[in-house]
Amino acid sequence: MNVLIFGATGMVGLGVLRECLLDQSVEKVTIIGRTAMGQQNPKLIEIVQRDLFDYSAIEAQLTGFDACFFCLGVSSAGMKEEEYRRLTYDLTMVAARTLARLNPAMTFIYVSGAGTDSAEKGKSMWARVKGKTENDLMALPFRGAYMFRPGLIQPLHGIRSKTKFYQAFLSGFGWLIAMLKPLFYPKYMTTTEQMGRAMIGVARRGYPKRILETADINAV
C-alpha cells in the first residue's frame, strides 16, 4: 500500500506512522504537516504544507494513494464552537474533498472519539462537530471511509501525548491504568500500536462497520 498520514506528530499519528514503517505491506508512507519531522526512513516522504486549508499548489503530490490515515485533531478545551468547528470539521473536509477527487479508490480512515454524536443534536459541542465531520466524510465518494472512535489510548514505545492534561494523567496514573486494564480492555481501552495495526488492517481488508468503537479497533 501507498499510505498518506495527516497528524503524524501527534500521539496517535506517531503510533500509526511507526506501524506503517514496520509493516511490509506498506511500501511508501507520505506524511503531511505544517512542519518537518526530520525522521529518516527509506520509505518515508515528508510534505511540508503551511496552509492546511489549501492544497492547490501540491495536488500533483497527492495522487496515487491507497489509504489516508487522518490523525490530525485538537482538544476542544477552552474553544468556542466556531473555532473548534474550523479546526476540526473545516480543516478535515478540505483535505478529504481534495483527496476524494484525486484518489477515488482510496480508503479514508478518520480518528474521531468515543461519544461522538452521529445525530449532531446533543448538548456536547465537540461531539456534535465530530458527528457532522464523520457523517460528511462517509458521504464522500471514497472506496471506503471508516471512523475510528477510540476511548482511552495508552501510548507505547516512548510516544507521549501533546495534550498536557492527558499526558499528565498518563504520567501520574500509569499504575492505575495498568491495574484497571483487565477491566477496561478491550472494550474501552486501546494502545497507539493497536490503533496503527487496526488502520492498516481496515485499509487492506475493510470492515463490516463504517464506525469502529474501541472494541472493534482491538478486534481488527
Percent of residues in the chain assigned helix, strand, coil, to nearest 5:
45, 20, 40
Rounded CA separation 178/98 (Å) = 41
For the whole prediction, is pTM greater than 0.85?
Answer: yes
Rounded CA separation 55/50 (Å) = 10
pLDDT tens readout for residues 2-39 = 999 999 999 999 999 999 999 999 999 999 999 988 88
Residue holding cell 500509569?
Answer: 174
Query: Which domains, from first to last, does the chain contain?
Result: 2-219 (3.40.50.720)
Question: Which helix H or strand E contains 195, and what residues bound it?
Answer: helix 192-205
> What is the torsional sign of CA 116, 118, 123, 127?
positive
pLDDT-based confidence at 133, cuts 50/70/90? very high
Look up residue 94 and give its DSSP letter. Answer: H
Predicted confidence (pLDDT) at residue 125 exceeds the cutoff of 90: yes
Residue 69's beta-bridge partner residues? 5, 109
pLDDT tens readout for residues 78-114 = 899 999 999 999 999 999 999 999 999 999 999 999 9
